[in-house]
Every structure is written in C-alpha cells, then in structure tokens.
Structure 1
Amino acid sequence: MNNNSIPTEIVDTILAELNIGLTLVDNTGKIIYFNQLAGELLGWNYNLPDNNILSCHKKETQHKVLEKLNQFTNMEWHRVIRTPHKFIENTYSPINIPDRFAGAMIITKDVTEREQSLERLKKNSETDLLTGLYNRNLFQDIIQSYIRDSKPYGLIMLDVNGLKYINDHFGHEEGDRIIREAAAAIRDSVRDTDFVFRFGGDEFLILTSYQESVLKMIENRIKDKNKLPTRNSPAVLNLSLGYATSCEEKKMEAVLSLADQRMYQDKQAFYLGEGKYFKQSVS
C-alpha cells in the first residue's frame, strides 16, 4: 500500500462518523462522486439519467449556479435547504486542478436541530409568551419599515377593562385568562394583513390600514365580542379602544399618543356607565 494514499473506504468511514455528506461536481454541474450520507440527504442516485445538481434548481437560477461553478476563487458559498422534515446545509468550495478537474466540493450537513433552535429563539424574541402575539420590540421594527417606505397606516390601541379588579378579587390566573381571551378576540377581529401586538401588561396594539372604513370595521368586530360585567359575573372580557392614523399626525409617536388618548376616553366612558360593577366589591 502506498503510505501517501488513503483508501476510499476509510475516507467514507470517517465522513460517516462525522455525519458529513460529500459531493463532487464538475463545472457543468454533473455529479462525479457522492458518499452515502450525501445521497440520503440530497437524493443523489447514480442510476438517474441526468445526475446533475442543476436539476435541484429552478431554470431561471441555473445560470447563476453555473457561473459560481466556473468562478475559480477561494470564496465559499452556503445554502440552507428546508425540506418537509429537515434543514440541510450545503457548503460549496470551488476546486480547480488545471488539466485534471474543475468544479466544486459540496459539504452537506443535517442542521435541523440548529435551525429549529434558531427559529425558536427568533420566535421568542418577536412574540409574547402568554398570548402568542407579536411583542413591542417587533412593532418597532415593522413600523420603521412603514416610515421608510412612506406607507400610511392606522394604529388601534386597546386596553382590558377591569383587569386590576379581576386580579385583586379572582387572582392573577384569572387575569391571565382574560388577557389570553383578549388576544384571541383581537386576532379574530383583524384582517390577515394586519399586525397585532401585546404592547404592555393589558395593552394591545393593532397596526392596520389608515382607512376609516377598515378601522371602524375592526372596532365593531371587537366591540361585538365585549361582555358586560355584573355584580355576580364581573370577570368577563371587555376592551376599550381608540384609533388614529398617520394622516392625522406626522410622527409615529404622535399617532400612538392620539390613539392612546382616544382609548382612555373610551375607557372613562365605560367606567362611568356599564363598567360601574368593577367598582363594587364582591358580595
């Protein structure tokens, strides 16, 4: 045995133990070699009539793949592929051995656990754990894109009525139930294109259209879901709301403040009228 050469089966064993798939393709995209794991993850098959990586790409992008396979630089490129059950990462390393081989080596790994962890982290950073709604941090990101694009918008500020009373008399678990119920009611009242955020403890915010007809429609849907508290059944969902648009105020903070003021006007009217039972003690 030549001491300077390593048998192919040893290389295959090492790659298998490292859970690494290896594929060699020439500069036309033809698959020259692949190990077992690469075949399992990427679906390579020597018996296929057209064993070419271009078959994995849309026709409109195939020319870009060929360009990369023929640009012999030291620059690697990466691609994460999402399948129904896995995330697969390919790392492409150009190879150019003059007069012998030109193409690329593709290192393939199953990165499902990593990508799912990243998805969970991203979701947790953008959503409220109690309600599953978007959180205040994500609102700041989305509204900035509206401002950059000069896109008009409407903001609806909402607040749960009587939550302190419910927490004090029935406990915070009941209060959390009301907050989750509020989130569901709001989510069911908006359009698919709207964004709903939990803005604070019992405050919610809807980013929606600036059109009065849309704002009024959402308001009516939410108000229809409100229940009136009574002395015997005070722990029910009731929301106050107010809205404002970017057509009324130039700065986002001013739009938000105007919506907040109108929401508190709605809340004050509620407490002076049908919300009076929240101010009574439980008998």
Structure 2
Amino acid sequence: MDGLLEYRTRELRHERDQVAVMLDSIDEGVISLDHEGHIQHINPIAAELCGWDPSLARGRPWVRILQLRHEGTLQSVASQLEGVLQRGEVVHMSSQTLLVARDGSECAVELKASPVRRRNGDVEGAVLVFRDISYRQAMIRRLNFQAHHDSLTGLHNRTAFDDALTAALADGGFHQLLYLDLDFFKVVNDTCGHAAGDTVLRELSALMRAHVRETDVLARLGGDEFAVLLYRCSREQAIERAEALCAAVSAYRYYDEGRPFQLGVSIGVAPVESGVQASEVLRQADGACYMAKQSGRNQVHAYHDGDAGFERAQREVQWLPLLHEALENDRFTLYIQPIRSLSDATSKPYYEVLLRYVNDAGEHLAPAHFMATAERFGLMPEIDIWVVTQALQVLESDDGRIESDAVLAINLSGQSMGDLRMRDQLAALVTQSSVMPQRLCFEITETAAISNLAQAREFIYSMRRLGCSFALDDFGSGMSSFAYLKELPVNQLKIDGAFVRNLTRDSLDAAIVSAICGICAQMGIITVAEYVERLELIPALELIGVDFVQGYGIGRPHPIGAPLIPIIPRNNGPAASLQG
C-alpha cells in the first residue's frame, strides 16, 4: 500500500510539473489562485506584465500583484472579480481595462477569470488568463482616428462633421455653421505644385484651429473647403468669428522661392436649429458662401430667409449634376452661326461654334442657363475640351454637315486660359488631329484676357505657334481696351455689340467703331462686328472698313448639319449672344 501511495504521489507531482511547464510556455499571462485569493502559480508572462518576480508573487493576495483599473476613470476594477471566488462566476474583461505594473507602467489587457471547483462543486480557487492588447488597442484608436479625421490636416473629416451636425440639430440648442472656401488656392496649386498646396492646407488648418474654441468642430470637407460648427453661438457672434477667420487667412502668406502668395477665404454663415435637416443647413451655408465669393471674395455672408441672391445661387447649384451628366453622356450639342466677309466674297465659309444643352424634353438650352454654374464649379476647361473635340470630329469627318473648307471660331473660357493642363490637352488635340490648324480660330473675351495678361499672352503664342489663329472677343467692354491690345498677339478683334447695334443712329458709336478699325488696320488685325441685327448696318460697317460681320441680320445660330436659317429683314431683332 505504501508503495502504491508513493507511486501515486510521484505521478501527481509529475503531472503538476507538466502543467506548470505548459503554463509557463504559453504566450498569455496565467495566474492560479487558492480559495482565499492567494497566488499559487504565476507564469513568466504574467510576472513580466505585473512587474513582479514569480517567487515574490507566490502566496500574496492577487489584488496586490494584479492591479486592474478602468482605462477611462483609472478607478480599480478588482471588485468585478469577486464573483469568481465567492459565487463561482466566470468574468470577462474585454475592453477599457488597464494593468498597472509594479513600476507604474501601464498596458491594456483582455482578461478572463474562471473558477476551479472540487468534485462536489465547491469553489477551491480560480485561474486568471490575460493578454496584452496594447498594440491592438493602439491600432483600433488609430483606425478610429483615421475614420474621423482628415489625413492631410488632422482636422475632423466629412464623416465626423456630419455626425456632429446631426447631433447638434437634435440637442435643441442654438448653434451656427460656418462654411469656408479658400480663395485663390488653385493659383498656388497650379503655380507651385501639389506639394506646396498640401503645405498651404496644413498651415491654414493650424491657423484656423487657433481661431476657434476647443469645444467647436473644425472640419475639412474636401479640397479647399472647410466647415466650423459653433456651439451655443448667436448669429452676431458667428459673423464676428467668421470675420476674424477672414482677417487671419488674408494675413497669411505662402512663400515659394521668395515669391509671396496671398490667399483669402469666403465664408457663409447659417443657423443650426432643431427641426431643420442637416442637408438644408449645409445648403444654406454653402449658398451663403457662394454669395460671399460673388461679392468679391474674402468676405462673410450670413444666410437669411428671402435672400434673392441665395435663391439664384441655389438654382445654379441644381445645374451641377446635370452638367456632369452632360459631359459623361454627350448631352451637349453644337450650333454654328455664320460670320460673313464684307471685303472678300470668295472667302472660306466661317462660323462661330456655339454650345447647347439638350434636356430630357429635347429642348436645346443656351449657356446663359448653366454658364454661371460651370464657372463657379470649375467645369469650363472640361466643357471647352468637349467643344473642341466635337468640332474637330465634325471637320475631320467631312460628311457634309459643314463645308469641307470651313473655318470654325471656338470660344475658350477665362478658366481655361489659366489651366496649364487644359492648355496641354488642347495642344495635343490640335496636333493629333488631321484638321489643318489654320481652320481653327480660338476666341477669348477681352475681360478674361486682361484679368491675367501674362497667361493670356503665353496661351495665345502657344496656340499660334501650332498654326491656329486667335480672336479677342467683346472688344471695347474693358476699361482700357486700347492699352491692352498691343500686348495681345491676336489675329482678329470682335467689336463689342454695344457699339454696333445702334451705329447708324449714334454718331459716337460710329466714331468708336471707326477708331477701332483704323488701329486694327495699322496692326494688321482683322475686325469682326458683332450684333449685326439689322441689314441697314451692313453698308455703314462696310464703309467704315469692318472686315467681317456676325449677328441675326446675317444668320441665326443653327445645329451643325441643319440648313442655314434664312435672313428675315427687320428693323430690330433679338441680340445674338456670343454664348448662344
């Protein structure tokens, strides 16, 4: 019997040692307790996480070795484990639990405590198993931050802002929303590169953060647009805060190789009140921001009911998805209007290309309906490329829609003049086409040209080198037309219709047109009189020396391929807009 007992004792020791080896080998912390909560065994991982030598930890109460606290409050959570020994419960601690080591260092842990029972079911101890999840928690926090913050500026992103706005609308308080759109940011981006643009966005974000309260929400919505949610703020306080932001951004300078760049910010203010949808608040703030831009940029505009300018801006916004869809699915179509020579009856057919939008009802709408939207949202370069592409296809096809030797005049926007990528695209279209460049004349308005004279001059030279000609449109509408004329290497000059339509009845208009023609003759520039609405104007213009005429008295705009609309003599007629 004694031998059997000794054998059994050795076998139990061996099993215990095997268990100890296994516990010491796993990569989780393991602590076994007796029924009084004293530590019987602590494996190396657990000892390392707790900061205790295993030999010193054994026999001590577990609460002295395993100090657990709530991550948020830092209060002890040891009481949560009392149910394990007292009532035989299994306890899980899967989040917001910190283990404070003997040296004061902390790590996030995930813990499970399970009771150890005798055969009769009584609790005789417990086993605590825990692991360090600090890396996982850090990753979760990082992913959560990335999900709610802009990666470039560190500000809240659109998702976080939308959540904050929705909550603000539901809390019953009175708040204000600022919608910010940087002015002239594209100049820095295009001139200095995208890296410089990113630097500007980061620096301005830090600047704006310094001008809002910590309790407010400053977010980058995308591109160069930002928003600020001002809590518990009156309309007057919001306007004051917005004006301070305007002043701060206006005082900011970005330097590139010693060149200073000044920006601005247009800000719209709208109330955040319960009972209003978040989309409506954003619509009001965005519309107010647009009004600030229309008023001269770097200004503040506060939304109010019955704002006529705001309603007009909203009508423009409604065109935006239609224009995107038109570009994607060719919902535009081209019209042409004849330009007739007064000095050479054998000259080639000459037309100005005009744009129309085709709506769902099949109606052809002139650009007056949508041009403001296209300009506001920077779509003009894309639209210009579409027009040039389609015009080249018409000339290349030589399918009878237009004379095989016809010359086309194509309008280009001021935005296209300042877009370097668009310039490269345009040059590629011309050089890759089988159409002779001499059959293309590009038109730019005088106002667009003089707004950035250096860019306009460079653009004109680059296209003329390819063989295309250039016309200066609406000449005379600017304040210093003649002063700028010698700076622009144009082939043609289109005299503004304001001086033409009443030329036979107003001697001053006749004198102005005569002066323009005289100067152009000296410079070798061809003249085109616009808005020739009455046939009686033609002899007078011919006598003055105008080279070409265009207007409803010559021919109305019509779709490419359609027969020319016959001339109907009239004393007065609707003016033919160059935009159609």
CA distance in 1, matches of 2:203, 2:135: 33
CA RMSD of aligned residues (A): 3.7
CA distance in 2, matches of 1:85, 1:281: 64
Could you tell me the TM-score, scaled by structure 2's length? Answer: 0.42
Is 1:224 matched with 2:239? no
Q: Which has the larger radius of gyration?
A: 2
Indicate how the Cα distance of structure 1 residues 148 and 60 shifts in structure 2: closer, same or farther if over 3 A, else same.
Answer: farther
CA distance in 1, matches of 2:50, 2:34: 17
CA distance in 1, matches of 2:38, 2:75: 16
Structure 2: runs of 5 or more not aligned: 1-9, 300-417, 419-450, 456-580
> Which residue pairs with 1:268 in the alignment?
294
Q: Which amino acid aligns with 1:155?
A: L
Runs of 4+ residues deviating >6 angstroms? 47-50
C-alpha deviation, 1:258, in angstroms: 1.4
Matches within 5 A, 1:77-226: 77-79=93-95, 80-81=97-98, 84=105, 86-97=107-118, 98=120, 101-212=123-234, 214-226=237-249
Q: Which amino acid aligns with 2:283?
A: S
Match of 2:452 among 260, 264, 280: 280
Indicate how the Cα distance of structure 1 residues 82 and 157 shifts in structure 2: closer, same or farther if over 3 A, else same.
Answer: farther
Is 1:70 matched with 2:67? no
CA distance in 1, matches of 2:76, 2:285: 47
Indicate how the Cα distance of structure 1 residues 272 and 193 shifts in structure 2: closer, same or farther if over 3 A, else same.
Answer: closer
C-alpha deviation, 1:87, in angstroms: 2.7
**CA offsets, 1:54-106, max 9 Å, x none?**
86458885544424553434564434326655333222234443466345321
Question: Helix, strand or coil: the match of 1:227?
Answer: helix
**CA offsets, 1:84-138, max 9 Å, x none?**
5533322223444346634532112122222222222222212111111111112
Work out whether residues 180 and 268 of structure 2, in 8 Å CA contact, stay in contact via their aligned partners in 1.
yes
**CA offsets, 1:159-192, max 9 Å, x none?**
1111222222222222222211221111111111
| Number of positions where the alignment pairs a residue of Structure 1 with one of Structure 2 | 277
> Which residue pairs with 2:47 in the alignment?
39
CA distance in 1, matches of 2:243, 2:453: 30
Is 1:53 matched with 2:63? yes
> Which residue pairs with 2:265 in the alignment?
239
Indicate how the Cα distance of structure 1 residues 99 and 17 shifts in structure 2: closer, same or farther if over 3 A, else same.
Answer: closer
CA distance in 2, matches of 1:13, 1:263: 70
Question: Helix, strand or coil: the match of 2:11?
Answer: coil
Question: Helix, strand or coil: the match of 1:118?
Answer: helix
Taking every aligned residue pair, what percent have the same amino acid on both sides? 25
C-alpha deviation, 1:240, in angstroms: 1.6
CA distance in 2, matches of 1:29, 1:96: 14
Question: Helix, strand or coil: the match of 1:240?
Answer: strand
